[in-house]
Amino acid sequence: MTVRKKIIIGFGVFFSLFLVWYLLIKESDYVISFEVKTATGTVFQGVQEWSSIQLKNNKENYVILEKRNFDFIKQEMKKGNAHMEYTWDIQSINDSVTKVNIGIKDLNNSIYNRLMAPFYSTNFKIEQIKKITDFKNGLNNYLENFKIKIDGAGSSEETFVAYLSLKSVLQEKAQSMIANDAIITGFLRENNIKIIGRPYLEIESWNLDKETINFNYCFPIDKSTKIIENELVKFKTLSAIRGLKATYYGSFRTSDRAWFALWDYAKKNDIKIENKPLEHFLANPFNGGVELEWEAIIIIPFATK
C-alpha cells in the first residue's frame, strides 16, 4: 500500500469518526460563549431567575435536570412543540471575570441543526443567538445596580446582640428580614432596649444544593442589658471572626452577590472558608436614598480545619 493510500484511508477513518462524534455523540447542536464581569454565583443565580422570567413572559417552561454549585446548570425547556436542552458551563477566569459557555440542543431537530448551524444562519441559530444576547444584556444591566470590592483578609468585632432566628431560600433573605423587622425592633422598643449600632446578618448554615439558609437577624445592644425571656427574640454575643472580607454597595436584597465574589476569590487563591457569611449593614434602607451608596461589610470566616 502506497503512502498516499495510507494517508487517504487514515483521513477517511478520522473523518468518519469525527462525523459519528459530531452527529451522534456531541452533547450540543450549537455553543454560544461570552464573558462577563461578575462572580460565577451571580451568573448561576441569574440563569435561574432568567428562566422564571422566560416562563412568565414567553411561556417557556425550564426544568433543571442537573446542577453543580455555581458552575454548571443543565436545563430542559418546553414550549408547545419546542423541546430544548441548555447546558450552562460557568467558569471563573479571574477574581472579576466569568466565562459562560452555553450548549444548546434542539431535541426535535438535532442532526439538521448540527449540519446547518456552522454554515448557515438558520432560524434555530438566529433565535438562540438573540435569546442568549438578551440574557447577557439583562445581566449586564443588573450588574450596574451594585458594586463589590474584595478587601482580602479582615476581622469583625465582638458584639452583643438581640436577634431573631430565621430561615429562607437564599433569594428571599432580605424579604424575610423586612417581614420580621417590626417583631424585633418592636420588642426592643417596648422594653426600652436601645439599639446602639447597625444590624448584622449571621449565617448559621447555608445549604448550597437546596439554596436555603438558616440565619440570625441581629441588632447590637449594650452588653449590660438585662436579658428578657422571649419566645422569639434571643440574646447572645457575636464572637469576633477572621476571614475573607468584601465591601458591598447596593440593595441589601442582593448582598449575597458579595458571597459569590468571595467564594471565587477563595477558590482561585486556594483559601479554605466556611459557608457562614457575616453581613454588617452600615446603612438603613428604610431611610431610602441611592442604593449604590448603601454599604455593607461581608466576612466569610476562614475554615478552622
In this predicted structure, the answer to whether residue 95 has a pLDDT above a threshold of 80 is no
Q: pLDDT tens for residues 104-150?
A: 988 887 777 777 777 667 888 899 999 999 999 999 999 999 999 99
Closest CA to 238 of 205, 271, 279: 279
C-alpha cell of residue 207: 445549604
- Helix, coil or strand: residue 268: helix
User: In this predicted structure, what is the pLDDT of residue 10?
Assistant: 55
Amino acid 191: pLDDT? 94
- pLDDT value for 17: 45
Write down the domain spans for the chain: 25-144, 148-301
- DSSP per-residue letters across 153-167: EEEPPPEEEEEEEEE
60: helix, strand or coil: coil
For the cut 80, the answer to whether the pLDDT of residue 43 exceeds it is: yes
The residue type of 161 is V
The tens digit of pLDDT for each residue in 72-88 reads: 999 999 999 999 999 99
Question: What is the per-residue pLDDT for 22?
Answer: 45
Count of C-beta atoms within a 10 Å radius of residue 286: 8
- The answer to whether 163 and 187 have CB atoms below 8 angstroms apart is no
Give residue 23's pLDDT band: very low, low, confident or very high (50, 70, 90). very low
CB-based contacts of 125, cutoff 8 Å, min separation 6: 30, 113, 116, 117
In order of 145, 178, 184, 283, the CA distances from 286 in angstroms are: 18, 10, 15, 9
For the segment 48-71, the average pLDDT, to the nearest whole number, is 91
CA distance 215 to 276: 9
**Crossing angle, helix 123-143 and helix 40-58, to 10 degrees?**
120
Could you read off the pLDDT of 205-264 as tens digits, one per residue? 999 888 899 999 999 999 999 889 899 999 999 999 999 999 999 998 899 999 999 999
Class of domain 148-301: alpha beta
Contact 258, 298 (CB under 8 A): yes
Query: What does CATH list as the number for 25-144?
Result: 3.30.530.20
What are the φ and ψ backbone dihedral angles of 291, each rounded to 5 degrees? -60, -35
Please list, in sequence order, all residues whose beta carbon lies within 8 angstroms of the beta carbon of residue 118, skipping any fewer than 6 positions away: none
* C-beta separation of 146 from 42 below 8 A: no
**pLDDT at residue 15 in the model:** 45
> What proportion of the chain, given as a percentage, has pLDDT over 70?
89
Q: How far apart are CA 39 and CA 210, in angstroms?
A: 19
Q: Residue 31: left if φ>0, alpha if ψ -120 to 50, beta else—which one?
A: beta
Instruction: With CA atoms as reference, report the closest residue to 107 among 124, 94, 122.
Output: 124
Q: Phi/psi class of residue 187: alpha, beta or left (left: φ > 0; alpha: ψ in -120 to 50)?
A: alpha
**Taking each helix axis from N to C terminus, what angle separates 257-268 and 40-58, rounded to the nearest 10 degrees?**
140
- Nearest to 166, CA basis, from 140, 135, 202, 194: 202
- Has residue 284 got a pLDDT over 50? yes
